[in-house]
A and B are shown apart, each in its own frame.
Chain A
Amino acid sequence: MNLVTIEGLTVTYGGVTALKNVSLDVNAAEVVTIVGPNGSGKTSLLKAIIGAVTPLEGSVKTKQGLKIGYVPQRLNLDPTLPISVGKFMRLSNKINKKSCLFALEKAGVPELIAKQMSELSGGQLQRVLLARALLGDPDILILDEATQGLDQPGSAEFYRQIEKLRQETGCAVLMISHDLHVVMSTSDRVICLNGHICCSGAPETVVAAPEYQELFGTETNGALALYRHSHDHKHDHSSSENTEAVN
């Protein structure tokens, strides 16, 4: 059975539609990446899955007893807030120091356990957030632009770690990413989102789709996406020869 099944999801914020009629499945052990310009509803989609927004229409179903490991974009870590990495990890219930250290090892940063959260670098913080998500052996990891603020080598390294974890633990991965290069090489499936699902499929299919190129440009396979577009764009199917892709 699918881990997550989304059908006809519509999400609005005070009259503004963030997502319209989105349907999506995530299967076990699958790596699905969501790409899309700013304001395209990527984060809303993840929020709907973890129950942080209530859908206006449609449904979000998760497998019975699904364990989600969530990696947020960043923390609101005020400099006046003293907390060690170990303590932060144990803010969930029933976590002992041993499993905490084990999760940090899996994320590649066991040496950080006694450090203060406010002393971590951007890359270290992301690893700790990843480690926290790994507590309790999740069936699916959900990452919201987890490499934001990391440099190119840093984020590449981070994605290699995710890939390694998937191979080791067999958990599914659903992530939002802007690092198109990396994403394309590691994902099983790419969803191109802009309020609705513009196109989806294997990375190479999506890159070739006119809807994708319209959003991200054709040069360098979209790696230099400039996000110059209208949010209520219409796909110009008449001018394109390849009109098969999902709308």
Chain B
Amino acid sequence: MLDDFMTRAFIAGLGLALVCAPLGCFVVWRRMAYFGDATAHAAMLGVALSLAVQTDVFYGALIFAIIMAWATTQLSGRNYAMDTLLGVFAHSFLALGLVIVSFLSGVRIDLMAYLFGDILAVSVSDLSIIWTGTLIVMGLVAWRWKPLFLSTLNEELSYASGYNPKREQLFLTIALGITVAVSIKVVGVLLITAMLIIPAAAARNLARDPELMVFAAGLVSCISVIAGLRSSYIFDTPPGPTIVCVALFIFIVLNIFKTLRRLAR
């Protein structure tokens, strides 16, 4: 069954959909959209270094995504605002990554595959990495759900309830790093933020409860993956961007639906 590249693509995409749903909700709630984007860009340096030492890009991406996320969390608020630091690190890490790749002679490297992802090239070992990452992140978020949520609403409230919001932020950061690393092959660096944010944003219209919103975001992402892969096969379009287009389509439809319902009332 796993011999078919389309089947592997579906399984990989669904793993990604499930990992992005809970994290995407937190990214949207905490207004961290740019954070996910920057982490993903920084991971490119990890990808380049992994290629240089000929190891799986997963590890390099994971390490650099976490370094970047951790560094900005630690340094922000001292001399620069968070988004300034993110801008500095994200773009310089991306540039460094691209420069390093240009030095790698001999191997023909299709960097586009890491920028836009190549879900059709997912191997069985990639599948196990993606699903391991997905389960770890889902477990992490489920375990820290209440404290994470409380620290999103108010840091002091979280301290007063006996939780350390800085530690919760670190959990989220690590989860985001894992997500970026497992997603790099599937949707690529540039589209990770889209998969984190669009389904979560679309789900807001469906839910009046945080858990339900995560569930709805998961549903939107799964539908985007399945419909996106099918249409990319039919119309011969690049699969990663097609998935994002489907997610965008759902987002728009749900918003029109919501507006109409409000007008009807």
Contact = CB atoms under 8 A, between A and B. Distances in A.
Contact of A72 (B30, B152, B154, B207): B154
Interface size grouping (class) on chain A: 20 to 34
Interface string B144-160: 00100110111111011
Nearest to A81: B29
A183 interface: no
Contact of B152 (A76, A84, A132): A76
B155 A82 contact: no
B150 A82 contact: no
Nearest to A135: B161
26 contacts: A14-B78, A50-B156, A52-B159, A69-B160, A70-B160, A70-B161, A72-B156, A75-B154, A80-B28, A80-B200, A80-B204, A81-B29, A81-B152, A82-B207, A82-B210, A82-B212, A83-B209, A83-B210, A84-B208, A91-B146, A91-B149, A91-B150, A91-B153, A92-B161, A142-B160, A144-B156
Interface string A54-93: 0000000000000011101011111011111001100111
A69 B146 CA distance: 18
Nearest to B79: A14
B213 interface: yes
Nearest to B78: A14
B160 A82 contact: no
- Interface hub of A47, A76, A93 (most chain B Cβ within 10 A): A76
Interface in B183-236: 200-201, 204, 207-210, 212-213
Given A50-B160, A70-B160, A82 B152 contact: no
Contacts of A116: 208
Interface size grouping (class) on chain B: 20 to 34
Contacts of B159: 47, 50-52
Nearest to A144: B156
A196 B207 CA distance: 48
A206 B185 CA distance: 66
Interface of A: 14, 46-47, 50-52, 68-70, 72, 74-78, 80-84, 87-88, 91-93, 116, 132, 142, 144
Given A80-B201, A87-B209, A91-B150, 11 more contacts: A47-B159, A69-B160, A70-B156, A75-B157, A78-B28, A78-B29, A80-B200, A82-B207, A91-B161, A92-B146, A142-B160
Nearest to B197: A80
A193 to B, nearest CB: 18
Contact of A82 (B78, B146, B154, B213): B213
B108 interface: no
A76 B29 CA distance: 9
A161 B213 CA distance: 35
Given A50-B160, A52-B159, A84 B154 contact: no
Contacts of B155: 52
Given A82-B207, A82-B210, A77 B161 contact: no
B265 interface: no
A78 to B, nearest CB: 5
B261 interface: no
Nearest to B31: A78
Nearest to A117: B153
A91 B152 CA distance: 12
Which are the 8 A-B pairs with shortest beta-carbon distances?
A: A70-B160, A52-B159, A50-B160, A80-B204, A81-B29, A72-B154, A50-B159, A75-B153
Given A76-B152, A91-B149, A82 B208 contact: yes
Contact of A76 (B153, B200, B213): B153
B29 A80 contact: yes
A124 to B, nearest CB: 16
